[in-house]
Structure 1
Amino acid sequence: MAADNGGNNTTSEPEMSDSLKTFGAVLKALRDEAGLTQEEFAPQVQYSAAYIAKIEQGRRFPPRDLIGRSEGVLGPTAARVLAAAARSLTRKAGLASWFRQWAGIEEEAVSLYAYESSVVPGLLQPEPYIREIFERRLPPLTEEQFENQVAARLARQQLLTERPNTTFSFIIEQALLERQFGGVDVTKALYDHLLEQGCHRNVEIQVVPLRQEDHSGFEGPMYLAETADNRWVGYVEAHDASMLITDPKSVSAMLQRYGKMRSQALGRQATTSLIEQMRGAL
């Protein structure tokens, strides 16, 4: 899934979000009102000055704990103002326009399935992995585009914790974990992140072993979502093309293939054990 994984479509670059810019401007005004520089404010909220600068520029999605940490520094009134500004934020900031339809479906889904054979699904990527993905983007991104896309991906990942009643199922090829994309440190971060996310009751991660004679995923990566009215839609991408699939027969075929792959992949506990072994072997 290009927008979810590497962003292969180059015809429509992500846009800066007005709501992110507004939040950043509000934070800067409140910080200035308190008579604090970024270098003075940042350590008091346990972030770097560079990170705070990017938030104030509208280039990074503010972490959830920023408002709570800011209250002790800027005061309760400022914290309420920040909270009000945060309510206007959209996690779609930084997403390419052609991807936003699926992103909207993803946000409201009651079930979300993903199978990947080329790169770890974006919803499961730790920040170091995300940055390595966009470092390799061709044509290269500007610094602003780079940070904007990283911020958008991190923001979308909040779905895993903000929607505890949504069922998330991920099937990943073991080859992706063996590849050590980005190097050993990035791979360690990936293993740790997968183990952490797999602990959530609503998140199931399964790995397809390297040797699997019966494998139904040969037609490529796919994503499926069950909407609030219990309809299923599919989504696929390849390089510069993407397609939302709503035809019931086509979606049914995708569901059949996905169901078959779930039976062919390692179970939840076996997947956890495999990742732990791979982590220990690094």
Structure 2
Amino acid sequence: MTDGTDGTDGRGGTGGSSGGSEPEVSDSLRTFGEVLKAFRKRARLTQEEFAERVPYSVQTVAKIEQGRRFPQPDFVERAEEVLDGFGALRGAARHLSRQPGLASWFRRWAQFEADAVSLNTYECRVVPGLLQTEAYARAVSFSVPPLPDEAQLSERIAARLARQDLLATNRRPPTSFSFIVEQAVLERHTGGEEVTRELYDHLLGVIDRHWNVEFQLMPLRQPKHAGLDGPLQLAETPDHRWFGYSEGQENGRLIQDPKEISRLHQRYAKMRTQALTPEDSLGLLKRMRGAL
């Protein structure tokens, strides 16, 4: 599948089951975790006491200290304040690697994604990884055999949640995002109603808080559909070059050929006219949430 769990956004990019798609261990995340733990112990705080002051869950603090979770920017800033880190934690965070948990064949695309000034994503299988909740990501990972062990799952989810920092509007320049997602993906209720309810609330929150995110739903009934060849992504680099990415079972493909990029642009532009408008998509999402 796609999008960040084994290859990119859905399951993609986080390490699959075979050979080159296994995630790599992150020394930088482990090192940051050890530094954080040392500062916490110097302050004579338990994980519970520190978690309350940050504030993050004890589970999140534990995973960051173990190097199994990528720390969010606001976590780093709060940790600096609470632990009097004199810039050490902030400096260490700048050198954290985003590679762990990403499939080897997804990493090059992830680099383009991280630097993109605009990113267009069409998804027909799962909610894009940049929009997933932790519970939804877990449900997706446990849906497709072979099932990961807890360490693999933690790396996958950490990598995916870390990528969501890209949505921040305080990036310079902020990335412009366009998402087109099949309504059927949300109607599937992956993980059950509780997971779906949280996912809907999360999506509504992202749309409300991020002016740089445009979200459209492709309706269940659409006789003319330019995306029948499957999911696709397009990224524009700071020097205004475009790259594409497509993903299938156990692999992904970076697309650089100008003719192929042109075809993908045509398809994506057509899908934007075939999907519900952002306003109508928001209304439908609210109705779907209300029906749960």
Normalising to structure 2: TM-score of the pair?
A: 0.90
1:80 alignment partner in structure 2: 87
Pick one of 205, 216, 221 that aligns with 2:215.
205
Contact 2:72 2:165 in 1 (8 A): no
Deviation digits for residues 65-119 of structure 1 (CA, Å, limit 9, x no counterpart):
22333345423xx252211211111333321222110000111112111111111
Matched to 1:176, the amino acid is V
Pick one of 241, 256, 274 that aligns with 1:264.
274
Moved more, 14-23 or 85-94: 85-94
- Equivalences, count: 280
Q: Map residues 156-167 of structure 1 onto 2, 5 A cutoff.
A: 156-161=163-168, 162-163=170-171, 165-167=174-176
Question: Which consecutive residues of structure 2, in runs of 5 or more, have no partner in the other structure?
Answer: none
Q: CA deviation at 1:181?
A: 1.0
1:117 alignment partner in structure 2: 124
1:153 alignment partner in structure 2: 160
Contact 1:92 1:156 in 2 (8 A): no
Matched to 1:4, the amino acid is D
**Aligned Cα RMSD in Å?**
1.7
Q: Map residues 64-213 of structure 1 onto 2, 5 A cutoff.
A: 64-75=73-84, 78=85, 80-161=87-168, 162-163=170-171, 165-199=174-208, 200-213=210-223
Contact 2:99 2:159 in 1 (8 A): yes
Deviation digits for residues 31-60 of structure 1 (CA, Å, limit 9, x no counterpart):
222223323333232333332221111001
Pick one of 54, 58, 65 that aligns with 2:67.
58
Cα distance in structure 2, aligned partners of 1:146 and 1:79:
33
Cα distance in structure 2, aligned partners of 1:276 and 1:137:
29
Cα distance in structure 2, aligned partners of 1:131 and 1:79:
36
Determine whether 1:18 maps to 2:9.
Answer: no
1:278 alignment partner in structure 2: 288
Q: Secondary structure at the match of 1:170?
A: strand
Aligned residues with identical type, % of pairs = 55
Cα distance in structure 1, aligned partners of 2:215 and 2:49:
41
Contact 2:80 2:90 in 1 (8 A): no
Deviation digits for residues 222-261 of structure 1 (CA, Å, limit 9, x no counterpart):
1111122222211111101211111111111111011101
Q: CA deviation at 1:178?
A: 1.0
Matched to 1:86, the amino acid is A
Contact 1:67 1:79 in 2 (8 A): no
Cα distance in structure 2, aligned partners of 1:158 and 1:185:
25
Q: CA deviation at 1:137?
A: 4.0
Normalising to structure 1: TM-score of the pair?
A: 0.93
1:249 alignment partner in structure 2: 259
Q: Map residues 224-243 of structure 1 onto 2, 5 A cutoff.
A: 224-243=234-253
2:8 alignment partner in structure 1: 3
1:195–1:79 Cα change, 3 Å: farther
Contact 2:200 2:285 in 1 (8 A): yes
| Structure 1 residue ranges (4+ consecutive) displaced by more than 6 angstroms after TM superposition | none
Q: Secondary structure at the match of 2:106?
A: helix
Question: Which consecutive residues of structure 1, in runs of 5 or more, have no partner in the other structure?
Answer: none
Matched to 2:11, the amino acid is G
Matched to 1:263, the amino acid is T
